[in-house]
Structure formats: C-alpha cells, structure tokens
Amino acid sequence: MFKREATRAAELINAELEALGYGRRTLEMRPIPFPGVWGTSTTVCYQIANEQLAEELERVAAGLSKKEAKRLVQERVRERAQAIAEELARRLSRHTGFARVEAINGYLNIVYDSNRFANDVLRTVLAEGSEFGRGEARGERVMVEYSQPNTHKAFHVGHLRNVCLGNALSRVLRFAGFDVLEANYIGDIGLHVIKCLWCYLRFHQGEEPPRERRGRWLGEIYAEADRRLSYRQDVIELLNELAREDQAFVQAIDRMLKELWQEHKVGEDIAYLLGQIAHGREIKPDAFYDDQTIVKFWPIVGRQLEQELVEARASDEGEKAAERIQRVEEWYDRWRRLAATLDWWPHVPEWEREVRETFQRWERKDPEFVRLWEETRAWSMEEFYRIYEELDVHFDVWFFESEVEEEGRQIVRELLERGIAEISDGLPVVKIDEKLGLEKETYRTLPILRSDGTTLYSTKDLALTKRKFEQYHVDRAIWVVDVRQTLYLQQIFKVMELWGFQQAAKCYHLAYETVMLPSGAMSSRLGNVVLYEDVARQVLERALEIIEEKNPTLPPEVKASVARQVGLGSLKYGMLSRDNNRVIVFDIEEALSFEGHAAPYIQYAHARACRILEKVDTLPEGPYALDALTREEIDLIEQIALFPDEVQRAADEYKPLVIANYVYELAKRFNEFYRVCPVLQAPEPQRSARLAIVAAARQTLANGLQLLGIAAPEVM
C-alpha cells in the first residue's frame, strides 16, 4: 500500500511540474527513513537544478581548483534544488490527504496523514479479506515446473525443499497477478528405474509389500541395487580415502608390510596391495588379482581400523581426539558395512552385464518388462499422490519422462537438419558458444543424443520445453531444480533460443542448494537418507504432544487437526525461511523445535488474534480514531501495509523467502503490540480501533501463510 501512496504522490508532483513548465518525469520515490513517519521523498528537485545550472556551473568552475569547484557546484545546486522544492511544497500543500509537505535540503518530503492512511489500510484489509494483497492481472502465463521426483526411488527431505519452494513460488506468482500453471515432471524411466527392476527380478521376484509401503519398498530395492552395482567402487573409494587422509593407517600398513614380508606370511597379491597403500598410490579395481584377494585382504584393513579406534579412544588430547574418534568411526562403519556383503565382489561384472541387458528389454519394449514397469511405476505414483495431498500441493500439468523420448529423437533430427546441431565424435551435439559467436567459453557444448540412439536428459528436456511453449502457450517458464544443474539448464535455454523460441529469453532457473545431514551429504547407497514420511511422522507426533501440553482441554479431533497444521507448517517453513543459495543442514531436533524463527511462532500469533476476536460479537465499523497511535500500533499497521508490495517483490524476484521473512516480522510486531497495548480492556474509541488492528493483522497473517502453503490455525 505504500507503493500505491507513493504512486499517488508522484502523480501529483508531476502535475505540478508540468504546471511549472518542468515537464513530466520518471520519479524515484523513496520511503522517508524516520521511525514512526509514513511518507515518501524524491530527489527530482536536484535533477532539475542540475539541468538548469549545467552551463552556468561549467563557466563558474573554470579556473578554480577541483576541490573548490566541487564545493561551489554543490552549494549552487543545493540552493536551486531547495528553491524548487519549496515552490512544489507550497503548491502540493493544497492537496488533501497529506499531513504536511516539506522542502528540506533540496529534498521534497511528503508525509501522509497518519489517521487517514491507517484507516485506509485497515479498511482495505477488512474489506478485501483473503484477497488483500492480490495484484492486478499481469497478462502473462507462467509455468512453474517443480518436484520432479523419480519413480522407483524414495521421497526424502531433499525433495521436500523443492516441493515447498515450487509450490510457494506458484502461490506467490498467482497472487501477484500471473496466470500460473504448476507442472511436475516425473522421472519414470532411466538407469535408476532399470537398476531397480533388475534388482527386483534378480533377487525379489514374486515379493510384494503391503500396499501402504510399496513406494517406500521400491526405494529400498533401488538402494540395494545401487549398493550391489557400486560395491567394488565403494571398496576402492574407501581404500584410497584411507591412503590419502589417514597417515596413521598408512604408517601402520607400512610396518605391517615389512613385518609380514620378512616373515613370509603374506602372498604376493596382498603384499602388492599393502605396498600401494604404504606408498600412497591410488588403488584400482584390477589391483585385486582374483576374487579371493579381497577375502584375504579386507580383514587386514578392518583389524587396523579397529586398532586405530582403540588408540584414539585412549587418547587424552581432548577436542582433537574427539574429532579423530569420529573420523575413524566413520571409516570403520563403512568397512563393516562392506564386510557384511563381501560375497558381492565377484558378481559385480556379471550384474553390470545383466543391467545392460535389462535396459535393452526396455529399449525393445519387451511386453513382460513393460507390464512390470507399469505396475511398479503405479506403486511409486500412489505414494507421490499421497504425499502431495498431505502437503496440499496440486499440479495442473503432469509430464512423464517416458512420454517424450521419441519426441526428443525427432527434435534431434530437426536440429541436425537445420544446422543447429552437428555430429561430433559420433554424437549429435550443439556447440552453443560457437553458434552464439562467443569467443570466451560460456555455455560449452551440449550432447543431445547418445551415439547408439538412446536418449539423454537433454533429449527429453528439449522436447518438454517445446511442449511448454507450443502446447501450453507459456510466456515464461521457471524450473525449480537444484543448483548443480545450473549450467545444464542454461544450455537448454540457449538451444531453445538458437531454435527460434522467443520465450527462451524468459526461461528462469530457480536454483537451490542441497539438504544435508549434520554428518554430511545424504546418500541412498550409504543408507543415510532421511525419508519424508519418517520426518513427517515424527513432527506430527511431537506437535500433538505440544498441543496437548499447551491446550489439554481441546477435543481430541481438534488436537489432531491443529497438530497436523503445526507439524507440516514447521517442516515447510524450515525449507522456505533460508535463502535458496544456502545449504540446509537438516537436523531433526531443530526441525521439531517450536521456538524462535519457525512456523509455530507465526501460527500462534494468528491463533492469539483469533482468540481476541472470538470474544466480540461483531467488529466495530470505521472510520477509527487513529490519530494518536502508539509506537507499537504504528509499527504493526506499517507492516500490514507493506504486504501488497512484498507480494509483488517476491514475485518479481522469484523469492518466497520474502514472504517467509515478512510473516515472521508481522508476527513479531503483533506480539509486541499484544504485549503493550490492551485491546478488550481499552476505553472507546481506542478499543474499536485496536480490534480493527487485530482483525487486520489476523487476516494478513493468514494471507501470508497461505502463500507459503502453511495453515493458519484458529486455536493452538
């Protein structure tokens, strides 16, 4: 609403500028930077003064020192700007709605009538209700693509950040006036699916978990497949990591090698491996002479790590020892996990061959394999639908990776025919920098199909983007994808630009950093992925405990409903209240906290406002007596008035964080108002005015939380 007032002031200023012969101008209106003062200021008088005095000042400054000339110019311009400001202030003072118009040091300050402005804010909020803050139609269609989970994989907290960002951005854009389509792109085919189905056919055929666990079970099958196929790689990675980072381990291996070799207690194969580690050389898979080598060698590694752990725990070096213990424990845990499946080692090459054969079954559309894919795909989709329903997320458009493969191949042929793409080293590629005439390497070269004709991500993304532009008539498209895909998406946008799509200029990648655990990055293979359903269950259980503590007299069904609103709200707000480019270190205890900068704090402010208003039959009608406001009332009304402008800013910057910060600040100001300003006990007309302020704050909190996809409970 401040922007609306500033626009009105700018229009009046321009009218007076025209009347004075200065002509209309684009005015930069800035808020007056004084606490408790509502108004706007402009430097237009300085602009005019500089124009009028330009030639005169150039003549006057000639012959003076640089310092003296600068001082003289500034003095003359300030005098002229002040004279213009005084004339404008005199003329603008005739207009109603302003408390005063001032000319101060060449600046023109317009101070709003606080009573009129505050009444206007409250009247607008109470009249518009849930529509307060909605922007005028912008005439553009925007598609926001987000979530993009892979079937046959588990839905974890990393996916949650994407969903929360995409859904909140869609809500903000729609509320700001855009025509928004929310789209999901399901990764229902690819190597991950092939791995999962291979593992199912090879080790679990005929098994089927309970219906409610089928999606999660598929994720577990995929994780098992990944561990099996990556087993040799994991073994080699651990050995090389120990050789690089654990000098105590290397020294112990060196001593062991010398002792064993002197006593002739070790074969040539084991001696070679020990020697590689002792000399800090990288070990490769072919360093193992045969499948029995790992069986003989792996226990040696474990015994040495166990000995290191004993020594580290016996150390008295304080914090340094604690760090050492943690690191060795991590290595030892990885060793034990790999030791538990040592029998996998000889089978890895065979399994890799079987996966390639399984991929060919998909490529030739083997009917039996396609039926299995369709059935298991449906299991994953059932889980996704349930999660989206729980999160109150709904998509207008569903894209599936399996549907755009052939379409992508056709696009590759077209790009080759038009000379946008070319064959390089047997691959169809687009040499983007060369096509754009860039000398400096920027977008590089994008492969768009494998040499054997199988599709890449780029093949399908080009087809998908073409659909967005042609089938859905999208003016701008937004991808919510993690930051690691930044270059890749820029390449897709530039290929679309080379292809002739004007909308490519309005493609935008909303990048976000990953979600990590305190112990490091999550990994399906390492088994440390935090699943969404586990987190949601824990949060909801803890929320119910807190609601029962705070309000034990609530009916059981109300407690359950409020716990759900508070629990899911805390999860969502935790994903939205951090800047996109910051890594979220996901800590379950922190996620379950109901103190500080968190959704429950904001939700409780809304519930507190509801509790006040439920004690009055009807809200008194305005206008209200708002000419002697307290500092707390001024701050709260000011924050309420900012909401429409913050909605537009969040939309323009593609940044839901703006709204997350806004509602937190609004809750803080409301709580301070509640602490200092009695409402129901206040005398009239103050009581009516404060009730209106409470009602406006409640409505604005609800509207802001709605944009974040977070419920606004009436009781807590």
We report the CATH number of the domain holding residue 93 as: 3.30.1360.70
CA distances from 627 to 592, 634, 686, 689 (A): 43, 10, 10, 10
**Residue 541 is assigned to a structural domain of this protein:** no
- Given 112, 137, 169, the domain boundary residue is 112
Coil, strand, or helix at residue 501? coil
What is the pLDDT at residue 655? 98
Coil, strand, or helix at residue 631? helix
- Given 53, 84, 112, the domain boundary residue is 112
**Residue 311 is assigned to a structural domain of this protein:** yes
What is the pLDDT at residue 269? 86
What is the pLDDT at residue 60? 67
Number of structural domains, the chain?
Answer: 2
CA distance 432 to 436: 6
Cβ neighbour number for residue 362 with a 10 Å cutoff: 18
Would residue 21 be called left, alpha or beta, if left means φ above 0 and alpha means ψ between -120 and 50 degrees?
A: left
Residues of the chain with pLDDT under 50: none
What is the pLDDT at residue 582? 93
Domain that holds residue 298: 230-349
**Residue 46 is assigned to a structural domain of this protein:** yes
Count the helices and strands in the chain (H runs, E runs): 25, 15
What is the pLDDT at residue 255? 87
DSSP β-bridge partners for residue 520:
517
- Given 86, 112, 138, the domain boundary residue is 112
What is the pLDDT at residue 61? 66
Write out pLDDT tens, residues 329-377: 999 999 999 999 999 999 999 999 999 999 999 999 999 999 999 999 9
Q: Rounded to 5 degrees, what are φ and ψ at 374?
A: -65, -40
**Residue 70 is assigned to a structural domain of this protein:** yes
CA atoms within 13 A on the CB side of 170: 25
What is the pLDDT at residue 183? 98
